[in-house]
Structure 1
């Protein structure tokens, strides 16, 4: 005797609105240029992401160094006004307590600050169930003991830590290097122009007949540099990015191991920002001399270079310096504020893997952070 199943449209109909979507609860620290772009990107994309991926992205906390706004049901497009009205002084532990009290699951901490002290909270957040996403480079450039302890904690708690935007803003660089390294590919060298601001400055200075101070002022006014451009010109930011890539290859380097060429004259390094900006014409003569002495068809690039014996934990050399390269080379052909990364491997020989594109900009960086959030969200239960 057979059994017939009738097609009952009432019984078989699935009400898509009753399907429970996976809710991702996000705490964002830092809402300057990158952070505010990120919040607005998430809010404007929520409905589309909900429709396409069955994900509900809920920003339950937004904080800067002074105040936090905590909302169980998430931020609205008026979040700036709401934070001004309802934000309160806090410590990071209160954000963890709020998540516990309201039984929030699938937690992600996003660090868009540049705060060296805030990263010391990472371990506590991981201990309390948070994944980590960060555009802040500092946690990956502190001493090796902190670096290793954090990763051990992440492994023991089965949490993820994504930081694709630490180097190259939104470019798929760190993921590429991780995959190559984990697959057993022997990376022999990584070289490139890691700073979008310094890329613009030296691309322009090499091509145009302008004093260095005029080019620097143009970069400042276009928003390519930090508020104090010495933070770019000193080379430390490029050095941190190079160190991050070295550690991705399991190299045991510290920041002190990097040879960095500081482009700021010694007598301008410790004056106030205002004094420096009033005296930037003092940079013109030394840079004009460099340009005059440069070979024909060569251009300046501020280059980071990881080389040496990268198969040994302590065999790497890390150099950051202003170099002169042929105009028709990959580095020499760089335009605008793009970054470029050349990854040399044993298998590819003299032909590097090249990753090039926009290496700076708040919107680009925020989009990269957003991508890291979505990668973690897709893997959550």
Structure 2
């Protein structure tokens, strides 16, 4: 059966005026990436009819293999990529797009890789816009952060990353709009991690050991591939830093005060070893729970404060006890909550609350970024 992309190639004058093809290269097909691929394939035809935009996935890659098809992947993509030879370079994707004269290019990073970001400027220089659920590019050195944005500006390309903080919640866009409008943001605080929200929302009220709830979170796909990335506080710290840099603050990651929730003996273990010894977390957390005052619960919060008109702010993550009757204390499931304090709104913060974790929610947020970029270009 002829695909829409093949039809467009054959009938440029009749169909191109109605449907714009957006060519996607997707890197990473784990929980989020795989879910995103399914969402796109299921809705391709519907989006083409409703919005006049056809999302053509011409490249899918993991850390070892690359699948390329100028007319778009099929539902058999997972079997097909497993049959590809090991080893590829991102330059191959760029060269393939040029060879086949593919336009409206978007590269999507759904990896958790600390090194894949080194390809971002290469992709931008290769005519790709960027979308990422990976927070690393926005949270390593401020020098890298600035260099990437200079490259984007020089090439007239965009970089969207709404899912870096709050999964699918419209947080980064809100902060960008407030900041661009000249609103003086004075503080941002809240439960930044849907994972830690799930853990402490349930642990505070249920008669289960901490390790049992952690295993539930892993099974639900709420945690990072290594759950210690969540429990260490690093994930919350990175989210804080993403927001700080949206306010043009020049903080570095190592300046954040982070409370690590993992006992020291478990920090150096391999992922497998740690997952086999999560019951060693139970005595520590049970003791914290036993010491809670009546009608109080545990919450792991992030806070950006200080004089945010200066070059740097104060960034901190910490486990605190709060009243069960406050907005923080009433959180349920894996919801996140963000309180944005501004000069105009005074003591009444702008509150953004909703699902903060899960592959479906995050993938849908990435999908939203794709459609926003597709509609612009």
Q: Which residue of 1 aligns with 2:110?
A: 112
1:51 aligns with 2:39: no
Cα deviation per residue 1:285-323 (whole Å; 9 max; x = unaligned)? 222222222222211000000011111112x11000101
Q: Which residue of 2 aligns with 1:321?
A: 318
1:123 aligns with 2:141: no
Cα–Cα, structure 1 residues 217 and 31, in superposed 2: closer, same or farther, change >3 Å? closer
Q: Which residue of 1 aligns with 2:90?
A: 92
2:65, 2:84 within 8 Å by CA — same for their partners in 1?
no
Cα deviation per residue 1:332-371 (whole Å; 9 max; x = unaligned)? 1100111111111111111111111111111111111111
Report the Cα distance in structure 2 between the residues aligned to 1:338 and 1:184, rounded to whole angstroms.
29
Report the Cα distance in structure 1 between the residues aligned to 2:16 and 2:359, rounded to whole angstroms.
37
Residue 16 of structure 1, CA deviation: 7.6
1:107, 1:131 within 8 Å by CA — same for their partners in 2?
yes
SS of the residue 1:288 aligns to: helix
Q: Which structure 2 residues correspond to residues 294-333 of structure 1 after superposition, within 5 A? A: 294-314=292-312, 316-333=313-330
Residue 153 of structure 1, CA deviation: 1.1
1:69, 1:87 within 8 Å by CA — same for their partners in 2?
no
Q: Which residue of 2 aligns with 1:157?
A: 155
1:235, 1:261 within 8 Å by CA — same for their partners in 2?
yes
TM-score normalised by L of structure 1 = 0.92
1:264 aligns with 2:272: no
Q: Which residue of 2 aligns with 1:369?
A: 366
Residue 274 of structure 1, CA deviation: 3.8
Q: Which residue of 1 aligns with 2:177?
A: 179
Report the Cα distance in structure 2 between the residues aligned to 1:108 and 1:377, rounded to whole angstroms.
9
Residue 127 of structure 1, CA deviation: 1.1
Aligned length: 365
1:69, 1:88 within 8 Å by CA — same for their partners in 2?
no
Report the Cα distance in structure 1 between the residues aligned to 2:283 and 2:84, rounded to whole angstroms.
53
Among 220, 240, 243, the alignment partner of 2:241 is 243
Cα–Cα, structure 1 residues 55 and 30, in superposed 2: closer, same or farther, change >3 Å? same
Report the Cα distance in structure 2 between the residues aligned to 1:79 and 1:269, rounded to whole angstroms.
37
1:201, 1:219 within 8 Å by CA — same for their partners in 2?
yes
Report the Cα distance in structure 2 between the residues aligned to 1:184 and 1:42, rounded to whole angstroms.
37
Q: Which runs of 5+ in 1 are unaligned?
A: 1-14
CA RMSD of aligned residues (A): 1.6
Larger mean CA deviation between 244-253 and 120-129 belongs to 120-129
Cα–Cα, structure 1 residues 278 and 46, in superposed 2: closer, same or farther, change >3 Å? closer
Report the Cα distance in structure 2 between the residues aligned to 1:18 and 1:221, rounded to whole angstroms.
44
Q: Which runs of 5+ in 2 are unaligned?
A: 1-12
Cα deviation per residue 1:67-122 (whole Å; 9 max; x = unaligned)? 11111111112211222334663100011011111111111111111112111111
